[in-house]
Amino acid sequence: MISEPAPSHPAPNMPSCAMFSIAMFFAMYSIPSLAADPPRLSWIPTLINQGLENFVPRGKSEDSLCTKHGKVYELHLRNLTLWAVQMVDATSRGPSGVLTGNSYQFGDFDECIKVHEPIHDIRGKYVVVRFTFVQDDFNDGTSKKASSVFKYPQPHASTWEVFQATNDRRIVERNTLHWALCIPESCGDSEIESSLQSVISPIALSFAMHINASVEPLFTYSRRSFTASEDTALHIFVAVTFIMVSMVVTGTLRELKNGNISPENDNFSWLVEMSIVSNWRKLVKCESQEFPSISGMKSLSMFMIIFGHRWMVTTFSPIFNQEENELVVGDLLHTLVTNGALVVNTFLVITGFLTFSKIVKDIGNDKSINVFRFIYHRWIRITPLYAYVMVIAVVVYPRLSTGGPLGRSVIWDCKCSSATAWWTQLLYVNNYVQVTEQCLIPSWYLAMDMQLYIVCAICGYVMWVHKSTGLALLYTLTASSIILPGIVVFQKNYNGVYLFYFDDFRKLFSTPEFEETYMYTHNRASPYIIGMMAAYLYHQIKSTKHNLSKFLIWTILISALVVHLVTWLGAWVFYLPERPYYLIEHVFYAIFHRIGWSLAICVYIICDKLTYLGPLKQTIGARIFRPLSTLSYAALLIHTPIQLLLAGLQRSPPYSNTVLVVWMSCGDIVFSYLAALLLHLFIEAPLARLKDLRIRHIFGFIASTNHEALSNKKSLE
C-alpha cells in the first residue's frame, strides 16, 4: 500500500516576511517615540481665530439678557440674517505683522455700532479684547534671562524668542494682541471675558499655551456712547460762542458802514473795537519792535512744538510698524525728536526776559510796581481763551459722533471731568495739585508760566523798593533754580532729563519722575530766571553804552550755537540701551542742559537788539513772524486738541516714519494757525478790547460817582 504523501506547504515568501518584520519593529519603537514628542505648536493669531470662530457670548446665568441675546444672535447667524452677519463681519480676523509689533486689529468700527435688531432690541457693541499669551516651553525656567538690549532673533531661531521679555525700554511688550469683537450690547465686560476664557483656554492648553483675555474699557463703544447728554458747560459754551460771534459780526458791519467815526450819543460805539477789520489790521500791522528776533524764535519754537506733539500723538498710539519706530530710539539724530521738549524752555526764557525788562524799564522811569495789577492783567489776558479751548477739548469733542476706536483713548480720556480739576486749571496750580487731571497737554506749562510770572513781579517789586535787596533776591533765585534740579536727581536717582519711550504715553502724568522733573516749577524755573537776569544785564549794558567788538560778538554767537546743539544732543547717551546708569552725569546734565539752552536764547535776543548781527534780523527777525508770534498763544492751546481729534478718527493703525510725520506736521501747523486766527479774531482780541474798555469804564464810573457825591455833600451843607 502506497501511502499518500503529506500535503506540501509553500515556502515562505522572503520579501513579505521582511516587510512584516520591519513594520513590527517600527510599530514597537514608534509608540514611545510619539509619546515623548513635545505638544503641538500653533501660531497665536491662528489659535485665537480658531477659538473665536462663531463665538457667542454667554451671561452668568441662563436668564441673563446677555445669554438670551446670545442665543438669538447664534440662531440668526446660522440663518445668515443680515444683522448677525454684520456683527461677524465687523469682528477682527486677526492682525498681520505681529512679529514687528503690529498688535492692534480694529475690525470695522462703524459697521458694528450701526447694528440694530429691532424685535429683540439687540444693538452692536464694539469691544477690543487684550489677549496676553505665554508659551509654556519658553517659560519653564530654562529660557534665557531677559536681555538688556533687544536683538531680533536669527532666521532659524524659534519664533517665541521674539516674544521674550526684555529690559530694553525702547521695546513695547510683544506678548499681547488687541482684537476687536462685535457682540450684543447687553453683554458686560466680565461676561465677555468669562465667555472668551471658556472658549480660548482649552484650545490654548492643547498647544501648551496660556492665554488671558481682558476687555479694554477705553476701546468699548456702542451707539449710546455717542448720544449727547444735557450738560450745563455745553450750553454755556454755545451761548458764549453765539454772543461773541454776534458782537464781532455787528461790530464789523458797523465799522464797514461808518468807518472809525461813531455817531454822537452812540451807546454801542464800543462794538467797533471788536470788529474783525480793526483787529485784523492790528494783527498784520508791522510796527517796529524792541526785540524783533523774539517773534521769529517764538514762531519757530511753536512750529517745533507742533512737530513734537505730532510725533508723540502718532507714534505713541497704535501704529503698523512699531518695531521700526522703536529701534531708531537711541540714534544720535533722533535725539532731536526725543529731546525736543527742550524747546519749551525758549518760551520760558522769552517771557522772563520781556517781563523783567518791562519792570526794569519802569523802575528806571520812576514808575511804581504794583504786583497785584501785574498778576491781574496776566490772568485776565490768558484765562478766557484758555477756558474756551478747554471746553472745546473736554465738553465738545466727546460729543462728536465722528470718533473712531481710538477716540476715547486719545480725546475723551483727558482726565479733566471733575469740578476740582477745572478750578486747579483756572487758578494755575494744576502742576502741583491733581497733576493727573490735565485738561490740555500744555496745561502744566501755563500753570508754571503763571507761577513764575508772580515770582518775577514780586522780585521786581522788591527791586523797586530796595534795589540791592532786589538784586540779592534775583541772584538767590538764579542760584537756587540752577541747583535744585541736580539735587532732585541726586536724591531720587532720576534721569538727567525725562526720557520719552513708547510705552509711557498713557501714564505720563501719573509718573513721579515726570511730575517732579518736568512739571514742578521749582525744577523748571532756571530758564525763566536766567531770562530775568539777562534782561537786567541787557539794560545795564545799554545804560553804560559799552560797545563790544564785532569779533567778540561773532565768537559769542558761534559759541552759543555750539552750546545750543550740544545741549540738545547731549541726552543721546541716556537713550543708549546698553549704557549703564551713572548718577554723576545725570546730575550734571540736569543742572546744565537748561542753562546752556537758556543762555543761547539770551545771546540771540541781546545780539540782535544791539544791532551787531544783520543775519539775525533777516531770518528770525523777519516781519512775517510778527503776526505769527501774536497767534502763538492760541496755536499753543488749539493744536493738541486738533491733533488728538485727527488721531481719534483713525480706524486702523497707520504706518509712521519721519517723512510722514514731517508732512503731517506741516498740515498741523497750517490748520492750527488758521484755527488760532479764528480764535484770535472772534475770542481773544475782542475779549482783550472788552477788558480794556471795562477797566476804563469802571474807573471812570468810580471817579464820576465820587465827584457827584462830593458835589451833593457841598450842596447840602
How would you write 412-436 as a 3-class SS string? HCCCCCCHHHHHHHHCCCCCCCCCC
- The pLDDT value recorded for residue 714 is 44
Confirm if 314 and 668 have CB atoms less than 8 A apart: no
Q: What is the pLDDT of residues 279-329, one digit of tens each?
A: 999 998 866 678 888 999 999 999 999 999 999 998 888 889 888 898 899
pTM of the model: 0.87
pLDDT in tens, 48-106: 888 888 789 998 888 899 999 999 999 999 999 999 999 999 999 877 888 888 889 89
Residues 552 and 560: their CA atoms lie apart, in Å, by: 12
- CA atoms in the 13 A half-sphere facing the CB of 326: 25
Beta strands 122-135; 221-222: pairing state = antiparallel
| Long-range contacts of 26-29, Cβ-Cβ distance < 8 Å, separation of 24 or more | none
CB 661 within 8 A of CB 309: no
Q: Which residue intervals of 263-418 are DSSP H helices?
A: 276-284, 293-315, 322-327, 335-338, 344-364, 371-391, 407
Residues 375, 458: Cα–Cα separation, whole Å: 10
Whether 408 has a pLDDT exceeding 90, the answer reads no
- What Rg, from alpha-carbon coordinates, does the chain have? 35
Does the structure show a pLDDT above 50 at 8?
Answer: no
Of 525, 504, 528, 502, the closest CA to residue 514 belongs to 504
675 phi and psi angles, rounded to 5 deg: -65, -40
Contact indicator for 66, 59 with CB cutoff of 8 Å? yes
211 beta partners? 133
Residue 11 — φ and ψ, nearest 5°?
-65, 140
Question: Which residue in 340, 174, 315, 169 sits closest to 657, CA to CA?
Answer: 315
Compute the distance between CA of residue 567 and CA of residue 548 in angstroms, rounded to an integer.
Answer: 26
Domain range list for the chain? 44-150+157-226, 231-262+272-278, 303-694
* Cα 280 to Cα 686: distance, rounded to the nearest angstrom: 11
Tally the C-alpha atoms within 13 A of residue 505's C-alpha that lie toward its C-beta.
18
Question: Cell 544791532 belongs to which residue?
Answer: 611
Q: What is the pLDDT of residue 623?
A: 86
Rounded Cα distance between 393 and 676, Å, is 15
Indicate the SS3 state at residue 287.
Answer: coil
Question: DSSP alpha helices (H): ranges in 549-623?
Answer: 550-569, 583-609, 614-618
Burial level of 648, CB count in 10 A (0-12/13-18/19+)? buried
Q: What share of the chain is helix, strand, coil (3-state, %, to 5)?
A: 65, 5, 30
Check pLDDT > 50 for residue 9: no
Nearest Cα neighbor of 563 from 536, 590, 601, 591 is 601
- Give me the amino acid identity at 175: N
Across 13-27, 207-221, 536-550, 638-652, least confident range: 13-27
Q: Does the pLDDT at position 266 exceed 80?
A: no
259: left (phi over 0), alpha (psi -120 to 50) or beta: left
The per-residue pLDDT for 153 is 82
More confident residue, 323 or 207: 323
Calculated CA dihedral for residues 656, 659, 665, 671, nearest 10 degrees: -100
- CA nearest neighbour of 317 among 78, 678, 613, 652: 652
Cα separation values, 411 from 408, 643, 645, Å: 5, 10, 7
Q: In this predicted structure, what is the pLDDT of residue 428?
A: 96
Q: What would the pLDDT profile of 488-535 be if each residue is shown by its tens digit? A: 999 999 999 999 988 777 777 788 999 999 999 999 999 999 999 999
CA distance 135 to 126: 29
Instruction: Find all residues with CB under 8 Å of 281, minimum gap 6, and list them.
Output: none
Strand-strand pairing, 122-135 and 176-184 = antiparallel
Amino acid in the structure at residue 413? D
How high does pLDDT run on average in the chain?
A: 84
pLDDT of residue 444 exceeding 80, the answer is: yes
Which residue is it, cell 500653533? 42
CA of residue 410 relative to chain centroid, distance: 8
Count Cα atoms within 13 angstroms, Cβ side, for 657.
Answer: 3
Query: Contact, 282 vs 692, CB < 8 A?
Result: no
3-state secondary structure of 575: helix
**Contact, 124 vs 116, CB < 8 A?**
yes
Contact (Cβ atoms closer than 8 angstroms) between residue 687 and residue 384 = yes
The three-state secondary structure class of 13 is coil
Instruction: For residues 387-416, give the mean pLDDT.
Output: 77
Distance, CA of 199 to CA of 217 (rounded, Å) = 21
Range from 53-57, 150-154, 610-614, 660-664 that averages highest in pLDDT: 660-664
Phi, psi of 577 (to 5 degrees): -65, -25
Rounded to 10 degrees, what is the CA torsion of 368, 370, 375, 376?
A: -100
Nearest to 106 by CA among 178, 175, 55: 178
What pLDDT, on a 0 to 100 scale, did the predictor assign at position 254?
A: 87
At residue 699 the predicted structure's pLDDT band, cuts being 50, 70 and 90, is: very low
* Strand pairing category for 221-222 and 209-215: unpaired
pLDDT of residue 614: 64
Structure confidence at residue 702 (pLDDT) = 42
